[in-house]
């Protein structure tokens, strides 16, 4: 290993972070995890990526969430993370819980997308090289593939664990029935699904929607002994003060294709301003309240935040201090978002 450039804070586990048990497993995850979808690519300042990863670890954020194609460019967030491992975090590998995924577009041709065994296994081999890791802690099938037999995708996960490339497996964005099939298949092979990763925030209530058997994605994860981890808990930055007074030039909405300006309708702005006022009454910033709101549910194990600065992570960490809501606060939040909530 090259000379480490960083010594973590000796107080990293006394900084106020809480750890929640992930379903019926031996794993505890921090209530706040850090995602590398944006801001860790080769278009981003490398020094800032290092700074954010160091700060996160110093505050007890031990879970870093990646996927093969995070960047841009594809693969570059894993490469950045690989540099962070090599130069600073490698001595702390056993304190870290690192994920990767495959399921979306990654390389050209028929084998670089969706859910085949061929794609999942070769993609994870590439991810491990980019991240300078021998294994990931959890590997996910990133989305349900309606064309590939689900048994093929899931058996690839089982074999990935048996080969030592991953310690645990998870599913992301699976619809209800496919999720139940996956929970059963994996359990029968003694490789239980550790986590369901789904989008869940004040504006997007997909995981609260019932499937054919009347259960929600959240309830199904719990019933099957899996944890639930929320991605985009800030609705990509909408649920913060970022857009309350215009669209900042350096924001995701101004610079990336993933968050369209079209979502910022007058109705949405009004809802965000009302949420901001409710947050202020709780003594929180809107971003803090949005994370506290997801964490109020004990079926949620962790929220995966994105961040473009250390200051944002610092604000977001304060969410764990107050995850209780009064009945009146919850009703005021529902009233504020009436008409703008999405339930996929
Ligand atoms: N499984 C999946 O399919 C899937 C899909 C999407 C994401 N994910 C995972 O979830 C992670 C998080 O997703 P996300 O980045 O959309 O999460 P998010 O937390 O909803 O949004 C992050 C963005 O919000 C803004 N922000 C964060 N904290 C802020 C604060 N305190 N004040 C003001 N603005 C703040 C920043 O935007 P600016 O950049 O504008 O500053 C930041 O980039 C990803 O990195 C990835 O690991 C998984």
Q: Is the pTM of this model over 0.85?
A: yes
pLDDT (0 to 100) of residue 5: 82
Please tell me the number of Cα atoms within 13 Å of 8 on its side-chain side.
Answer: 28
pLDDT digits (tens, 9 = 90+) for 83-136: 999 999 999 999 999 999 999 999 999 999 999 999 999 999 999 999 999 999
Q: Provide the pLDDT for residue 1.
A: 52
The upper half-sphere exposure of residue 73, i.e. CA atoms within 13 Å in the direction of its Cβ, equals: 2
Residue appearing with tokens 């639930």: 228
Q: Output the CA 232–ligand 1 centroid distance in Å.
A: 5
Alpha carbon of 288 to ligand 1 centroid (Å): 13
Name the closest-CA residue to atom 48, ligand 1.
231
Q: What superfamily does domain 19-236+290-321 belong to in CATH?
A: NADP-dependent oxidoreductase domain (3.20.20.100)
The ligand 1 site (C-beta within 6 Å) comprises 35-39, 65, 142, 172-173, 197, 231-237, 240-242, 251-252, 287, 304-308, 312, 315-316
Domains of the chain, residue spans: 19-236+290-321
Q: pLDDT exceeding 90 applies to what percent of the chain?
A: 98
Residue 332 and residue 338: Cα distance in Å, rounded?
10
Distance of CA 58 to the CA centre of its chain: 19
Cis before residue 72, ω within 30 degrees of 0?
yes
Alpha-carbon distances, residue 237 vs 2, 234, 248, 266, 286 (angstroms): 36, 5, 12, 17, 10
Of residues 222, 227, 161, the one with CA closest to residue 195: 227
Which residue out of 170, 237, 244, 300 has the highest number of ligand 1 atoms within 8 Å of its CB and is therefore the one to mutate?
237
Burial 179-211 (b: 16+ CB within 10 A, else e): bbbbbebbeeeebbbbbbbbbbbbbbbbbeeee
Give residue-wise pLDDT tens across range 183-235: 999 999 999 999 999 999 999 999 999 999 999 999 999 999 999 999 999 99
């Amino acid at each position: 290993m090259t000379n480490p450039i960083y010594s973590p804070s000796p107080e990293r586990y006394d900084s106020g972070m809480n750890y929640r048990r992930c379903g019926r497993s031996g794993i505890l995850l921090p209530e706040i995890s850090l995602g590398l979808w944006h801001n860790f690519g080769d278009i981003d300042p490398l020094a800032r990526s290092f700074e954010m990863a160091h700060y996160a670890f110093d505050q007890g954020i031990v879970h870093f969430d990646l996927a093969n194609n995070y960047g841009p460019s594809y693969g570059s967030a894993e490469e950045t993370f690989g540099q962070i491992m090599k130069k600073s975090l490698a001595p702390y590998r056993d304190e870290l819980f690192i994920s990767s995924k495959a399921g979306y577009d990654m390389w050209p041709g028929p084998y670089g997308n969706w859910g085949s065994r061929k794609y999942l296994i070769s993609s994870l081999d590439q991810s491990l090289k980019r991240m300078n890791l021998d294994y990931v802690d959890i590997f996910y099938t990133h989305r349900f593939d309606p064309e590939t037999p689900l048994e093929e995708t899931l058996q690839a996960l089982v074999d990935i664990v048996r080969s030592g490339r991953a310690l645990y497996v998870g599913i992301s964005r699976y619809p209800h029935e496919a999720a139940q099939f996956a929970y059963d298949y994996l359990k029968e092979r003694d490789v239980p699904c550790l986590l369901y990763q789904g989008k869940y925030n004040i504006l997007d209530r997909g995981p609260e929607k019932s499937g054919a058997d009347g259960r929600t994605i959240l309830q199904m994860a719990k019933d099957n002994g899996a944890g639930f981890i929320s991605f985009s808990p800030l609705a990509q930055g909408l649920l913060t003060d970022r857009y309350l007074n215009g669209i900042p030039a350096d924001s995701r909405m101004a610079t990336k294709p993933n968050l369209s300006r079209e979502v910022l309708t007058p109705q949405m702005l009004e809802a965000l301003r009302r949420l901001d006022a409710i947050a202020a009454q709780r003594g929180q910033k809107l971003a803090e309240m949005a994370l506290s709101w997801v964490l109020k549910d004990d079926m949620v194990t962790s929220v995966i935040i994105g961040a473009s600065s250390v200051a944002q992570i610092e604000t977001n960490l304060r969410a764990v201090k107050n995850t209780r809501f009064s009945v009146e606060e919850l009703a005021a939040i529902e009233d504020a978002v009436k008409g703008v909530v999405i339930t996929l």
